[in-house]
Structure 1
């Protein structure tokens, strides 16, 4: 994924169309921005059922504008072993309509990687970490009971060309933040020493960036819990615990591609406070956005629970900011020198569906779930709820040191997320 095809034009088309056995006849797709908002790296998803396919020829898609090849990929979103979605990102002026052409080839195009997922595990304290794409962890397999940390960066990390994150798969299930200084993907050996052993080497500045957020016993940025009028129910435990309150935790890299990466988690028989739940979670990231999309569904609800989405507040004493100008989303945010040692300016935010939003509360200052602003969202049994977690670090963009610049970004982003692009596939 080192070469870029952004500047390719008719040279590709001529080369591929000359190979009659490798190319299927092009299909015209009309895309229309129905909003008055300029869209940058707007995610476009086209279902397989809308596309004209010849299964004997279909291998890899080529999405062509009038001048360029648009990097794209095929996603298997339902994990049945067959792709069901053509995915790419595109830019639009307000009310702009543009035509693209989709053709198919046996030759796999090579695009610049603008998203990535990294996950590694060691099977014993004296073994090197090996890359992995999935994991199953039982309740007694926490670092304190094993005697060592088995996961690279404590669990999976994912990123795009703007920002990176990691998830504490080791029972804590909080979400941490990697600040990035470059659009390139960070090295695959982050979190490892020269021998391939787990090492915390990402809290020091490197050319690509570093871990910048203190998480503690919060759920980090975009982690979640369940709450009711009397209880805060953490999904998992803290670093001091040796037995998880989740019987079985699963993880999978569903998709890792140049313009979209998707990871998923399952938490089976989560037993907080004499209750029993199961949880499904999916995280998606694409280029251009300073954040990720998270989707959560919980089964076993009794009706008194709200989903509580966290925004860690360890290193700020500022009040929580609220933006309520968008018709679809409400935004909760903080802006302060809230990185480690309060060294850099950092804005963090949650973009939440307005039709699910029930206000916010704060977790206690101490305890197994603490130091967090918590957005309360209405949740129904086994019904998914989606939200976005956002982070703007001043070393990614020096203008993020200004709170107004950060809030303006959030307003523009919610406008882009709300905007609808109509898709007309012409056969």
Structure 2
């Protein structure tokens, strides 16, 4: 027997993504191995969970040809392989379940037979669409017809805003709670799609141009004004007076790293990011999980980078407040009020580990967290909570309660899992 760490990436107030198990499916599928997952805390942990993989386990799962799924008690969940540290290696397996307080559960890992049909609900999505048949002239993309979906893109040199080349101007990612997009040009800022439905909707957003999603539709709308700010959770560098987004680079690559039932990811490579008098290479990995409002941002620099910052836009009349987890290991800056483009309530927040020694600051446009010391890796989460989402948060008190539970759960981020020998 061997002890491994199980990391819990938390989604609060969730509905289960799993399905009651079908005994016929279990009998006709191949069990690869099982794990015993222990939750030693006094609260149940619900959400998408990560299991670190040994070399043998990773090989077994990577070589599987059928769909992977997990059986937890009498429920089935998708099982997906994922990279959680931006090194390009799928080093963890993720599944969704509830681990009761002060107890353990057996998680059996299966490979479905070739003829098995498993109707899991898709609760996350990541996408990137652009036109293909036009041409560049005077810095604009002319013609090009319809948008087509791609897994990756090297951003064309000189690419700028409103060129009508990329659908809604960059990659998008969503859960059943909320959607996000980022501008894949000199702005490199994150925006928010407020959702009134739990269905995946981004595939239909922006196909008719850049204006339609700024107006309310059955699915929702763009609800955040970004302008020259960091929007929500965008990557920046603090020059001592203001946050500078990833504006000047040698080149940029974007890839849809995962488009799964319960986890989706967008990965970016920024080559030669100019910060003051120096340049650095940066990898950004954005992750969203089922039933979660949060995007996890993981940054990996080629050389340690000082004064990395993030934050969100300052809205007139909206106060920023700070919160901390029960043990002070995670902190947050947040705001709440009538700050959506639908003229209703929305909460914005950035959550970050105390170990990165973030300093709370502000400039003319943004509430900021600045990581002053040189860091080779930076981790934080950002989120938006719009009151019109299904079962949405509608008051400041509810938003603070949600943030407190989220911070507390991030601090309870590991338990021991006992892994059996791989079964043939």
Larger RCO, structures 1/2 (Cα 8 Å, 6+ apart)? 2
Query: Is 2:116 the counterpart of 1:126?
Result: no
C-alpha change, 1:338 and 1:398, in structure 2 (3 Å) is farther
Query: What does the per-residue CA deviation read over 1:176-200, in whole Å, with 9 as the maximum and x for residues that have no partner?
Result: 011111111115121012xxxx433
Check the 8 A contact 1:379/1:385 in 2, yes or no. no
Corresponding residue number in structure 2 for 1:218: 229
Corresponding residue number in structure 2 for 1:263: 266
Q: Secondary structure at the match of 2:107?
A: strand
Corresponding residue number in structure 1 for 2:277: 274
Corresponding residue number in structure 2 for 1:240: none
| RMSD (Å), alpha carbons | 2.5
Q: Secondary structure at the match of 1:188?
A: helix
Query: Is 2:105 the counterpart of 1:111?
Result: no
Distance 2:131 2:62 in 1: 40
Deviates more, 1:275-284 or 1:49-58: 49-58
Check the 8 A contact 1:224/1:235 in 2, yes or no. yes
Check the 8 A contact 1:357/1:375 in 2, yes or no. no
Q: Which residue of the other structure, out of 352, 366, 369, is the alignment partner of 1:372?
A: 366
In the TM superposition, what is the alpha-carbon distance from 1:378 to its structure 2 partner?
A: 4.0
Query: Is 2:23 the counterpart of 1:7?
Result: no
Corresponding residue number in structure 1 for 2:411: 418
Q: Which residue of the other structure, out of 155, 161, 166, is the alignment partner of 2:170?
A: 155
Q: Secondary structure at the match of 2:403?
A: helix
Check the 8 A contact 1:162/1:180 in 2, yes or no. yes
In the TM superposition, what is the alpha-carbon distance from 1:101 to its structure 2 partner?
A: 1.2
Distance 1:104 1:190 in 2: 34
Query: What does the per-residue CA deviation read over 1:248-285, in whole Å, with 9 as the maximum and x for residues that have no partner?
Result: 01101111110111111111112244332222110011
Q: How does 1:293-332 map to 2 (within 5 A)?
A: 293-300=296-303, 305-313=306-314, 315-327=315-327, 328-332=329-333
C-alpha change, 1:210 and 1:326, in structure 2 (3 Å) is same
In the TM superposition, what is the alpha-carbon distance from 1:203 to its structure 2 partner?
A: 1.2
Q: Which residue of the other structure, out of 172, 176, 192, is the alignment partner of 1:177?
A: 192
Query: What does the per-residue CA deviation read over 1:40-59, in whole Å, with 9 as the maximum and x for residues that have no partner?
Result: 21422341536383987654
Q: Secondary structure at the match of 2:212?
A: coil
Query: What does the per-residue CA deviation read over 1:278-308, in whole Å, with 9 as the maximum and x for residues that have no partner?
Result: 221100111122121001133455x7x3111
Q: Secondary structure at the match of 1:43?
A: strand
Corresponding residue number in structure 1 for 2:360: 360
Query: What does the per-residue CA deviation read over 1:354-393, in whole Å, with 9 as the maximum and x for residues that have no partner?
Result: 11133211122xxxxxx21111124535x21111102111
Distance 1:30 1:191 in 2: 45
Q: Secondary structure at the match of 1:409?
A: helix
Q: Which residue of the other structure, out of 9, 25, 33, is the alignment partner of 1:27?
A: 33
Q: How does 1:50-65 map to 2 (within 5 A)?
A: 51=57, 53=60, 59-65=66-72
C-alpha change, 1:166 and 1:309, in structure 2 (3 Å) is same
Distance 1:379 1:104 in 2: 45
Corresponding residue number in structure 2 for 1:242: none
C-alpha change, 1:326 and 1:57, in structure 2 (3 Å) is closer
C-alpha change, 1:83 and 1:270, in structure 2 (3 Å) is closer
TM-score (norm 2): 0.85
Check the 8 A contact 2:49/2:97 in 1, yes or no. yes
Check the 8 A contact 1:151/1:170 in 2, yes or no. no
Check the 8 A contact 1:163/1:180 in 2, yes or no. yes
In the TM superposition, what is the alpha-carbon distance from 1:39 to its structure 2 partner?
A: 1.6
In the TM superposition, what is the alpha-carbon distance from 1:153 to its structure 2 partner?
A: 0.9
C-alpha change, 1:120 and 1:48, in structure 2 (3 Å) is farther
In the TM superposition, what is the alpha-carbon distance from 1:78 to its structure 2 partner?
A: 7.6
Check the 8 A contact 2:324/2:404 in 1, yes or no. no
In the TM superposition, what is the alpha-carbon distance from 1:221 to its structure 2 partner?
A: 0.5
Distance 1:58 1:401 in 2: 45
Can you give the 5+ residue segments of structure 1 that lack an aligned partner in the other structure? 18-22, 237-244, 365-370
Check the 8 A contact 2:195/2:389 in 1, yes or no. yes
Q: Secondary structure at the match of 1:416?
A: helix
Can you give the 5+ residue segments of structure 2 that lack an aligned partner in the other structure? 1-16, 135-141
TM-score (norm 1): 0.84
Distance 1:353 1:80 in 2: 21
Q: How does 1:190-229 map to 2 (within 5 A)?
A: 190-193=205-208, 198-229=209-240
Q: Secondary structure at the match of 1:112?
A: coil
Q: Secondary structure at the match of 1:411?
A: helix
Query: What does the per-residue CA deviation read over 1:217-272, in whole Å, with 9 as the maximum and x for residues that have no partner?
Result: 00110002111435643311xxxxxxxx2110110111111011111111111224
Distance 1:114 1:316 in 2: 34
